[in-house]
Amino acid sequence: MEISLKNKIDVDELYKKMQEGNKQLLIFPPPSFSMMQGGLIEAAVDNAVGSLSLLSAPVNITRNIETKFVKAVTLETTHIYVHARLCEQRKKRLTFEVTVQDENGEIFTKSKVINFIV
């Protein structure tokens, strides 16, 4: 695949155009970059459940992850702890409850994960 140079974006020019007529200043990078992103937290949840699920049942796969974000993980947070537990097993369906928290027990997310036994 070849990338066309005529579609190249000049970031400085784009920033200036976005600022024109805008009373609020845009901040680059956005403040969300100083916090752990939701995708990384979801990966931590999936990794914890994956290990636990293989100890709990035959080979299985993640079917669904439903997460409620309670509080942002900031740069001041040095460690996160992922607590997962198997709540229910019905036929080929496993249900896990997961929390992500800091060393003081402050909760960042609560998740419900559904896995299917292959």
- 11 by DSSP, 3-state: which? helix
- Main-chain phi, psi angles of 42, to 5 degrees: -60, -40
Query: How many Cα atoms are found within 13 Å in the side-chain-facing hemisphere of 66?
Result: 6
DSSP letter, residue 31: G
Give 61-78 pLDDT, tens digit per residue. 999 999 999 999 888 899
CA angle 116, 36, 47 (to 5 degrees): 25
Give 35-44 pLDDT, tens digit per residue. 667 788 999 9
Nearest 10 degrees: CA dihedral of 57, 69, 39, 94?
Answer: 10
In order of 11, 27, 32, 80, 117, the CA distances from 109 in angstroms are 34, 26, 16, 11, 25
Domains of the chain: which residue ranges? Answer: 35-117
Whole-structure pTM value: 0.70
CA angle 36, 47, 99 (to 5 degrees): 65
What CATH topology corresponds to 35-117?
Answer: Thiol Ester Dehydrase; Chain A (3.10.129)
Give 74-111 pLDDT, tens digit per residue. 888 999 999 999 999 999 999 999 999 999 999 999 99
